[in-house]
Structure 1
Amino acid sequence: MTKDKGKSLRTGPLVQGLSLDPADDRFIGVLRWLLPGMRVKRYALVAVLGLLAMFLGVVHLSWHTALVPWFLQVMRWTGYLGVPLWLSGGLWLLLGLLLFILGLRSMNRSMLSAITDPASVSKQVYIRRRLEAGPRIVALGGGTGLSRVLQGLKTETANLTAIVAVTDDGGSTGRLRVSFGVPAVGDLVDCLAALSDAEGLPELMQYRFQRGGELQGHTFGNLMLVSLSELFHDFAQAIREANQVLRLRGAVWPATYEAARLWAERDDGSRVQGESALRERPGRIHKVGLAPSDVAAMPEAVQAIERAEMIVLGPGSLYSSVIPSFLPKGIQAAIQRSPARLVYIVNIMSERGETEGMDAYDHFQAVEHHLGRRPSVVLVNNARIPEALLRRYQASGQQPVRFNPQRFEGLGVRVIAEDFLEPGFAQHDPERLVKVLMSLR
């Protein structure tokens, strides 16, 4: 296959030989309505007859004006009805208007019935218009935390952009990185599934093969994104195509289209290479970065930040999801100069190998240190985790992130401490998060 970064799924082999001129495409589209079985022509004819009847009404009512000869001929055909011209003209106008409305209404119902339930159209239009008028929000991070907050935000706005960290190197994602040299796709798939409006697509995207040799352990969505990358020989173009064909309520972009690798420097000066290695070696993290250090940001991600009214960081693993999402060149600078409100959502539980012993203020300070800008709003959970649930998390080395409000005093930061717990889990409830986020507008 020859390299062609400009092609798209909509101009591939299946449509070769057809005209790609937009004007020709529109002309063919109009002619297609005239094909047999479309159930449109009959209603269009009724609407045309309605227009003709209204024209006759105008002819009758315009008798007092200077009429051209062909107007007079029409009067000879239709005007001698034994009633005053103003009455016959009014009747023709009324009949024409009724026919025109009936034709248009029937034509619209016929076309819409082929793609959706006509009774639900008004509801769908209302929802779409309300969402289109929603705030422009950019959410950065990765893991399950970001995808869950996206599920909540998409019920409030269609002007939503997810910017996803792509440094994961474990599991299916890690295998695909090694085999194809692409950035991590796992968290991208989760976010694409979260924002998709296509029925059944999220389940399909996240389906994980349980057998099949080399297929085992991979998700359908991971393989789809890698397949698109191979098809276009361009990971950035592959993500653009995925945004187009998956019917997203918003957009999902990787922080970078390059296969960057995460590194971490601990307080003792030792350095850890690779995201998956963070959990294998204990010790407090001082700094994280990307290798190479000059990886370029996805252009659409930077543009979304520049247009944003609100920028949300997290929830998610501090050093392996939240901070890596704004490290690529261009994203950090865009956030620093953005006038948008910057909100940081602190994780509910600590992460083994990353944030042991860190409280909410330590999380906040790490974000400010790496970003070069202080979040103006911080969301912290203050609900107590049930003992039985807490023991399950403690068994895997996790502890609740402590919150001391006194440490935030004098910073000029608005701290919102509420019950953000989802029942039965030590994670954020999307509905509770979104309720608070939308109140910040």
Structure 2
Amino acid sequence: MGKRPKIVVIGGGTGLPVVLNGLHKKNADITAIVTVADDGGSSGIIRDYVNVVPPGDIRNVMVALSDSSSTFKDIFQYRFNSNDSFLSGHAIGNLIIAALSEMKGGIGAAIQELSEMMEVKGNVFPASDEPLVLHAEFTDGTQLAGEAEITAAHKTIQRIWVETNPWSEVKKPKAIKGAVQAILEADQIILGPGSLYTSILPNLMIDDIGQAVLKTNAEIVYICNIMTQKGETIGFSDADHVRTLNRHLGKNFVDTVLVNTKIVPEDYMDFHRYDEVSKQVTHDFNGLRKMGCRVISEDFLLLRDGGAFHNGTQVVEELMNICSNPKRK
């Protein structure tokens, strides 16, 4: 591809910055669309008190795409560990994003201002300029609201959707300006890696984002998780992940799936530290191909600190190869 490929990455959580950090080193035109349904930790507290979209994932994405000094990025990422009842657990970057949102009258203007300050190379869009509430219906017919409550229930999820807060003037979740256009103009859309029900799908459940993903001519690439996740994908194969995505949008829309084939050594995982993971995702390549997916299986595994992660360098190399050899729609 002679021109700079336009790549849109959609998701949230810790997996998103890994891919963005690698893409940042490539000659790509990058847009990140970040979930705003997170209600845990520092982000959740700030969204409740200040009524701003949860800033944590946005903070990590901006650092991944930033050309500012390592010292500045370290300060931005610093999390207070004092016993102070207010500051304990808060990242400085979260507080800055919340403050700028208030000063500038919205999250969009705040991110634009902060992107210039941090020399961010690319575009960062929260999926919506409203903090959204994640809802789930389980296979037993019960329903819950809130990301933390949904995953803590440890039930099998049938479907999820997002809504605005009950007190919001906006009644229907809507994508932030620029996000939909970026999807429609992209050469490649990347979903993941990240929590299927709480990091990836909440973005796609915003109607205009979901419809744009179905309408775009871009190749849709799903980076399948290496491990299943407690409260979300216990017992899932790679095909089950894609089946869930397709079911929520009512169509087989995923073109290409990146699957790790390297085995995580037995007894390696530190389940006390990473209590959200359980077993390695199983493979069902025939199931993927029946849904029209091109399957790219490779050693994408990075073992670090008792956990199994995606090797960002390997994943990004494959993503750039896909840009050069796109799957025909």
| CA distance in structure 1 between the partners assigned to 2:192 and 2:184 by the alignment | 19
Q: What corresponds to 2:239 in structure 1?
A: 361
> Which ranges in structure 2 are unaligned for 5 or more consecutive residues?
165-170, 324-329
Q: Return the letter of the residue paired with 2:76.
A: M
> Quick check: 1:393–1:399 contact (8 Å CA) kept in 2?
no
Q: Secondary structure of the equivalent of 1:390?
A: coil
Matches within 5 A, 1:4-403: 133-200=3-70, 201-211=72-82, 212-292=84-164, 294-373=172-251, 374-390=253-269, 392=271, 396=275, 398-403=278-283
Larger radius of gyration: 1
Query: Offset at 1:338?
Result: 0.5
Task: Give the structure with the higher percent helix.
Answer: 1
Candidates 410, 415, 419, aligned match of 2:295:
415
> Which ranges in structure 1 are unaligned for 5 or more consecutive residues?
1-131
> Quick check: 1:141–1:164 contact (8 Å CA) kept in 2?
yes
| CA distance in structure 2 between the partners assigned to 1:318 and 1:324 by the alignment | 9
Q: Secondary structure of the equivalent of 1:241?
A: helix
Q: Secondary structure of the equivalent of 1:196?
A: coil
Query: Offset at 1:391?
Result: 5.6
CA 1:199 to 1:394, structure 2 compared with 1: closer, same or farther past 3 Å? closer
Higher relative contact order (CA 8 A, sep 6+): 2
Task: Give the structure with the higher percent strand.
Answer: 2
Query: Offset at 1:233?
Result: 2.4
Q: Secondary structure of the equivalent of 2:295?
A: strand
| CA distance in structure 2 between the partners assigned to 1:348 and 1:258 by the alignment | 31
Q: Secondary structure of the equivalent of 1:399?
A: strand
| CA distance in structure 2 between the partners assigned to 1:394 and 1:220 by the alignment | 24
Query: Offset at 1:394?
Result: 9.8
| CA distance in structure 1 between the partners assigned to 2:235 and 2:273 by the alignment | 13
Q: CA RMSD in A?
A: 1.9
Query: Offset at 1:291?
Result: 1.3
How does the TM-score come out when normalised to structure 2? 0.90
| CA distance in structure 2 between the partners assigned to 1:144 and 1:286 by the alignment | 24
CA displacement, residues 243-271 of structure 1 (integer Å, 9 cap, x when unaligned): 23221111111000101100111111111
> Quick check: 1:158–1:249 contact (8 Å CA) kept in 2?
no
Number of matched pairs = 311
> Quick check: 1:258–1:295 contact (8 Å CA) kept in 2?
yes
How does the TM-score come out when normalised to structure 1? 0.68
Query: Offset at 1:196?
Result: 0.3
Q: Secondary structure of the equivalent of 2:178?
A: helix
Identity %: 38
Q: Secondary structure of the equivalent of 2:228?
A: coil
Q: Return the letter of the residue paired with 2:301.
A: L
